[in-house]
Amino acid sequence: MAIEDDVVVIGGGIAGMSAALSAAREGAQVRLLSHKESTLRHASGLVDVLGYTDADGLVPNPFDAISGLPDEHPYRIVGEDGVRDGLDLFDSVADYEGAHTDRNALVPTFGGKIKPTARYPPATAAGLASDGRDTLLVGFETVVDFDAPLASEALSADVPFDVHGATVAFPGDFRTDARITRLAHALDENERIEESRDGVSASLPIRTALADAVEPHLDGAERVGFPALLGEERTEEVIASLESELDAAVFEVPMGPPSIPGMRLETAFHEALVEADVRTTSGNPVVDFETDDDDDIEAVVVERNGAAIPFHGDQFVLATGGLVGKGIDSTRERVSEPIFDCYIPAPDDRYDWSDEEAFGDHAFPRFGVDVDDELRPLDSAGEPEFGNLRAAGGVLGGYDFAAEKSGSGVSLSTGVVAGRLAGEQVNVNP
Ligand SMILES: Cc1cc2nc3c(=O)[nH]c(=O)nc-3n(C[C@H](O)[C@H](O)[C@H](O)COP(=O)(O)OP(=O)(O)OC[C@H]3O[C@@H](n4cnc5c(N)ncnc54)[C@H](O)[C@@H]3O)c2cc1C
């Protein structure tokens, strides 16, 4: 029997999940096809909308800067309303902070920089750079990505409050290469550990042992920042325990991969998808597609153990990510979009893809599909590739998410608009 849905979304990242939710909320029956895990597990878990532009540098309020972006930027296509709709959908899914203002919050990063972001997890809230409380950053000997003394030194240069750093041993007898999810789990469960004090062995809860290890380094700090591993599921409880033991505010500093805040966010989106009755099929790639007599897409084909399985739909959303997510591919000769072979504009001369300077103005991060005002990918003549295909997120061209700090914002806003338009089309042609 043929598998048939109203809207088929390809890609399980923040763009695809937003598109699927948005279409489902229009009343469509939605199928989400995803090959692998999304980049959320690598990302900080912060939701950036727009942190920097070429014209203005640091952006205090993203909504003031949208009209100054180049015409081809995804935010110019979905408009301010699209960006707000993306954030509204996000706020309906995740319990984050930042919705009280349009202005960016300034969050310290594990490298000791300050990052402008639109939404941040509650566990990060006490760490904002706009809060003037003196700060202690704590790293762990075995979590080498976060060098707290180095990060605090870098941060000190940019903030008006006192910040110092300390590295302590993570309490307990964990392997030196223990995954951070294992450490987070131990804090979630408040596991009991054995510690030797004055030659006497004692068993105590790990949260207490951690506070004991940190307390001698406080030196007047009113808040303490840890790498983002303070529990995977009971973070609020872990933070409350540490705060009461340390008599100081406690916060998480967002980390690189694997990102526990990114995983928590993924879980929140998955729960919302289940609630919205989105059918999710993951683990295998979409490799091909079929068209009808009008050259519209009729089905996409998933490869599973050598078998080709078609998923039929009325409307399709391409949300396969950029160069990192495998939504865009490149060889020495050309840049391509692997499923539908949508046109990707790129300079003929490969030397023009990047700048000679490592931190120069490279062209390749902006590679992606061009779209019309309904987010339909355009061919080289500027015509929609297919009447019923829309694109969202990292697969879009015209923006550099890493330089602008706009990754999640573009994915949310274009995902919501693409999903809504797809869902509306289904309602028009039921
Ligand atoms: C290292 C890193 C750090 C980041 N940090 C931040 C940050 O701090 N703040 C922020 O706002 N954003 C950040 N981002 C950006 C953000 O996480 C997303 O990468 C971006 O929003 C793009 O999301 P997406 O959903 O379009 O694509 P992706 O997250 O790349 O997801 C693409 C999905 O499509 C699937 N897919 C691809 N090809 C196929 C196929 N053929 N068939 C089926 N499925 C397929 C993939 O398996 C994946 O599930 C970061 C990204 C990276 C890589």
DSSP 306-348: TEEEEEEEEEEEE---STTTTSSEE-SS-EE-TTT-------S
Best mutation site among 320, 324, 337, 414 for ligand 1, i.e. most ligand atoms within 8 A of its Cβ?
Answer: 320
Does 394 have pLDDT greater than 90? yes
Domain boundaries, the chain: 3-98+262-428, 122-253
Percent of the chain with pLDDT over 70: 97
pLDDT at 120: 98
Does 429 have pLDDT greater than 70? no
Assess whether the C-beta atom of 300 lies below 6 angstroms from ligand 1: no
pLDDT at 240: 98
pLDDT at 178: 85
Instruction: Report which of residues 170 and 54 the model is more confident about.
Output: 170
Does 423 have pLDDT greater than 90? yes
pLDDT at 56: 80
Does 371 have pLDDT greater than 90? yes
Instruction: Give me the mean pLDDT over the 402-412 stretch.
Output: 95
pLDDT at 357: 72
pLDDT at 39: 83
Distance 319 CA to ligand 1 centre (A): 9
| Sign of the dihedral defined by the CA atoms of residues 328, 276, 27, 81, in that order | negative
Strand partners, 31: 8, 279
Assess whether the C-beta atom of 16 lies below 6 angstroms from ligand 1: yes
Pairing of strands 52-53, 57-58: antiparallel
188: CB partners within 8 A, 6+ apart:
231, 232, 233, 234, 238
pLDDT at 202: 85
Assess whether the C-beta atom of 11 lies below 6 angstroms from ligand 1: yes
pLDDT at 187: 98
Q: Closest ligand 1 atom to the C-alpha of 321?
A: 27
Assess whether the C-beta atom of 19 lies below 6 angstroms from ligand 1: no
Give the DSSP letter string of 221-289. -SEEEEES-S-SS-HHHHHHHHHHHHTSEEEEEP-SSS-HHHHHHHHHHHHHHHHTT-EEEESS-EEEE
Does 1 have pLDDT greater than 70? no
Task: Please check whether residue 352 is in contact with residue 345, taking contact to mean a CB–CB distance below 8 angstroms.
Answer: no
Does 360 have pLDDT greater than 80? no
Q: Which CATH architecture group holds 122-253?
A: 3-Layer(aba) Sandwich (3.40)
pLDDT at 358: 66
Instruction: Give me the mean pLDDT over the 245-270 stretch.
Output: 94
Instruction: Report which of residues 363 and 165 the model is more confident about.
Output: 165
Stated pTM of the model: 0.95
Assess whether the C-beta atom of 121 lies below 6 angstroms from ligand 1: no
Assess whether the C-beta atom of 166 lies below 6 angstroms from ligand 1: no
Lowest mean pLDDT among 299-303, 332-336, 346-350: 346-350
Instruction: Give me the mean pLDDT over the 113-141 stretch.
Output: 97
b or e along 405-422 (b: 16 or more beta carbons within 10 Å of the residue's beta carbon)? bbbbbbbbbbbbbbbbbb
Instruction: Give me the mean pLDDT over the 299-303 stretch.
Output: 97
Distance 325 CA to ligand 1 centre (A): 5
Percent of the chain with pLDDT over 90: 82
The tens digit of pLDDT for each residue in 216-252 reads: 999 999 999 999 999 999 999 999 999 999 999 999 9
Does 430 have pLDDT greater than 70? no
Distance 398 CA to ligand 1 centre (A): 16
Best mutation site among 39, 124, 340 for ligand 1, i.e. most ligand atoms within 8 A of its Cβ?
Answer: 39
Does domain 3-98+262-428 fall under CATH 3.40.50.300? My reply is no
Does 159 have pLDDT greater than 80? yes
Q: Closest ligand 1 atom to the C-alpha of 16?
A: 25
Virtual torsion, Cα 378, 381, 387, 389, nearest 10 deg:
-20
Distance 40 CA to ligand 1 centre (A): 6
The tens digit of pLDDT for each residue in 25-82 reads: 999 999 999 998 778 888 899 999 999 998 889 999 999 999 999 999 999 999 999 9
Residue-averaged pLDDT of the chain:
93
Assess whether the C-beta atom of 321 lies below 6 angstroms from ligand 1: yes
Distance 108 CA to ligand 1 centre (A): 22
